[in-house]
């Protein structure tokens, strides 16, 4: 009985390692003006597994709230709206970018400064909690110039 128990405990402890390969995340944010209260983070999330997943929420100590948002066209006017979750299809990828999906940072504790980094915690339905660090690019950045990949 003891060897079976040891085997089961070993398998359960190994599970997070299996889950870690399911997602890879790259991210960046734009620098903000000194008095800005809000900012945005953009991610590229690649799902390497055969099962879909959902990004449910995000948080950071750099802001009071970090919510999932999307820009949509409504009667010819671009509007930003919160979204409940972001679906990452099996063997698929989601790219958050300016003018589309993003993580809105509301109530920044301090300005986002070019060259600094921002710790972010992401909560996924299947992959669980994933900690990433995103690089802060210049104010006019349109994408990452230096890619930092986090595999989870």
CATH classification at residue 113: 2.60.40.1890
Mean pLDDT over residues 76-99, rounded? Answer: 91
- Identify the pLDDT of residue 140: 74
Structure confidence by residue, pLDDT tens digits, 22-34: 899 999 999 999 9
Paired residues of 106 in beta bridges: 38, 65
Q: How many domains does the chain have?
A: 1
Apex 16 CA angle, 92 and 56, nearest 5: 50
Question: Is residue 38 situated within a structural domain?
Answer: yes
Question: Is residue 75 situated within a structural domain?
Answer: yes
Question: Is residue 82 situated within a structural domain?
Answer: yes
Question: Is residue 8 situated within a structural domain?
Answer: no
Question: Is residue 12 situated within a structural domain?
Answer: no
The closest alpha carbon to 63, from 84, 40, 93, belongs to 40
- The alpha carbon dihedral of 127, 21, 61, 88 has a sign of negative
Rounded to two decimals, the pTM is 0.79
Residue 128: give the domain boundaries: 21-151
Question: Is residue 84 situated within a structural domain?
Answer: yes
Mean pLDDT over residues 77-96, rounded? Answer: 92
Distance CA(90)–CA(110), nearest Å, equals: 37
């Amino acid at each position: 009985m003891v060897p079976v128990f040891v085997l089961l405990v070993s398998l359960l402890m190994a599970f997070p390692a299996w889950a870690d390969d399911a997602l890879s995340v790259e991210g960046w944010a734009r620098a903000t003006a000194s008095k800005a209260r809000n900012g945005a983070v953009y991610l590229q999330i690649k799902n390497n597994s055969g099962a879909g997943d959902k990004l449910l929420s995000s948080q950071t100590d750099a802001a009071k709230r970090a919510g999932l948002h999307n820009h949509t066209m409504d009667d010819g006017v671009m509007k930003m709206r919160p979204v409940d979750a972001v679906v990452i299809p099996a063997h698929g990828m989601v790219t958050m970018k300016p003018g589309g999906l993003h993580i809105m940072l509301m109530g920044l504790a301090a300005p986002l400064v070019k060259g600094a980094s921002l710790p972010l915690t992401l909560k996924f339905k299947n992959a669980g909690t994933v900690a990433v660090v995103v690089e802060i690019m210049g104010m006019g950045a349109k994408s990452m110039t230096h890619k930092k990949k986090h595999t989870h």
